[in-house]
Structure 1
Amino acid sequence: MEDSQKIFKLVSILLQYPEKEWKNNKELHEEISNLQDAGIKKRFLTFLTYLDNQSMNELWKNYVNIFDFNEKTTLYLTYIIFGDNRERGPAFVKLKQEFAEAGFMLEHDELPDYLPLILEFASIAPRENASKLFKIHRKAIDLLHVELEKMTSPYVNLLEICRATIDSYMKESKAS
């Protein structure tokens, strides 16, 4: 697995509802320590320090306040662009088609615009398919980053990692 794929997988995991197993997780620290990019490694370690220094109740509360109760920082990317407008429905259909073209079928209850799902897909999908989803969602990812930055949220580290990795991944896609 390429470094970019590992990074997508790690960000996918860490953007989900916090798990007790993440705190002081030696395997997670080791996986991050093995990454080549020093800047990305530093951002991950900053985020892990945040995880390790908060109680689980505080982590859960922060996560819910940031991603579940704030429309500008939802992890459902089409919502950032369309809100509850009906344009969101056709966007879902297109995204599901993109997943299916790559041979990935979604469960019925999964929304195809959930950022951790898209990053998990990118960690295992063919480069061409993952690149297409990043092109579709780049604007929403950038807007999410801006809002997290305004909040000085520790999650901004994960979005900065995500954006930097997408940029290098897309450059590599064009080169190949």
Structure 2
Amino acid sequence: MEIYKYIADLFRYPTVETLKSIQHVSEVLSKKDVVIASEFESFVTFCADKPLSALEEYYINTFDVRAVCHLDIGYVIFGDDSKRGRFLYHIKEEQEKVGNDCGNDLADFLPNILTLLAKTEDKEFAEELSASILLPALEQMNQKLKNEKNIFSVPMDLLIQLLKMEFGESEYEAIKIGTKEKPDFLNNYITGIDTSLFERKKFKGKT
């Protein structure tokens, strides 16, 4: 799970440390999966060939000014609905449990979510968060990046592949973005009835 901490840095505002994290991810992937490592090389080359100022501008145009896609997972799932606020409240609780400093960003900011995954020792929580919320959100975000032929689709692809390798067989139900349907556990979770995150789950194919 530690690799998610370094992938998180790839989606933060670029700094010198970002380049170190890119190299670290590349090295880990070369030992883990040669195919995935080769796919990631285009992002490595893109970042290595540009000055930091150019990377900063590209990042801003992707996630801020133009906002090809948003990095706040709750917003991707719920938009401006009040459910997003409840989701954010409970995610913040989980961040505090593991002592994750979210800085000036919200608790559901993708890099903060990934750092949470890297830090948590609750495997059940990590699985449900990933399968039910994170993966469907990332799939939608990645489609927008691909439509724009944006280089950030490369680390997004990587992230999705790693999460599917780890949680692809999960029986937790993925939320359907853009519809009113939602997994049973989310009904309880977003209304604040349950104090623990994702306490209940609904299995695929069961009622």
On whether the aligned pair clears a TM of 0.5, the verdict is yes
Counterparts of 2:118 and 2:58 in 1: how far apart (Å)? 27
Aligned pair partner of 2:98 in 104, 107, 113: 104
Post-superposition Cα deviations, 1:3-31, rounded to whole Å, max 9, x if no partner, equal: xx243122111111111344488963773
Query: Which residue pairs with 1:80 in the alignment?
Result: 76
Q: Which has the larger radius of gyration?
A: 2
Q: Are residue 57 (structure 1) and residue 53 (structure 2) matched? A: yes
Counterparts of 2:72 and 2:13 in 1: how far apart (Å)? 14
Counterparts of 1:92 and 1:20 in 2: how far apart (Å)? 30
| 2:32 partner SS | coil
Contact 1:43–1:158 (CA under 8 A) maintained in structure 2: no
Aligned pair partner of 1:116 in 97, 108, 111: 111
Say what the alpha-carbon RMSD is for the aligned residues.
2.7
Pairwise CA distance, 1:59: 0.6
Aligned pair partner of 2:91 in 86, 95, 105: 95
Counterparts of 2:106 and 2:56 in 1: how far apart (Å)? 22
Counterparts of 2:22 and 2:77 in 1: how far apart (Å)? 38
Query: Which residue pairs with 2:33 in the alignment?
Result: 37
Q: Which has the higher contact order (CA 8 A, sep 6+)?
A: 1
84 and 33 in structure 1: CA distance in 2 versus 1, 3 angstrom threshold: closer
Q: Are residue 169 (structure 1) and residue 166 (structure 2) matched? A: yes
Aligned AA (1:118):
I
Q: Which has the higher helix share?
A: 1
Query: Which residue pairs with 2:42 in the alignment?
Result: 46
Counterparts of 1:71 and 1:93 in 2: how far apart (Å)? 24
Contact 1:7–1:165 (CA under 8 A) maintained in structure 2: no
Moved over 6 A (4+): none
Contact 1:98–1:133 (CA under 8 A) maintained in structure 2: no
Post-superposition Cα deviations, 1:52-80, rounded to whole Å, max 9, x if no partner, equal: 01122211111011011244511111112
Counterparts of 2:159 and 2:79 in 1: how far apart (Å)? 23
**TM-score normalised by the chain length of structure 1:** 0.80
Contact 2:107–2:113 (CA under 8 A) maintained in structure 1: yes
- The number of residue pairs the alignment matches comes to 168
Q: Percent identity?
A: 24
99 and 129 in structure 1: CA distance in 2 versus 1, 3 angstrom threshold: farther
17 and 110 in structure 1: CA distance in 2 versus 1, 3 angstrom threshold: closer
Pick which of 133-142 and 155-164 moved more. 133-142
Pairwise CA distance, 1:130: 1.5
Aligned pair partner of 2:139 in 116, 128, 142: 142
Query: Gapped runs of 5+ residues in structure 1?
Result: none
96 and 167 in structure 1: CA distance in 2 versus 1, 3 angstrom threshold: same
Q: Are residue 13 (structure 1) and residue 9 (structure 2) matched? A: yes
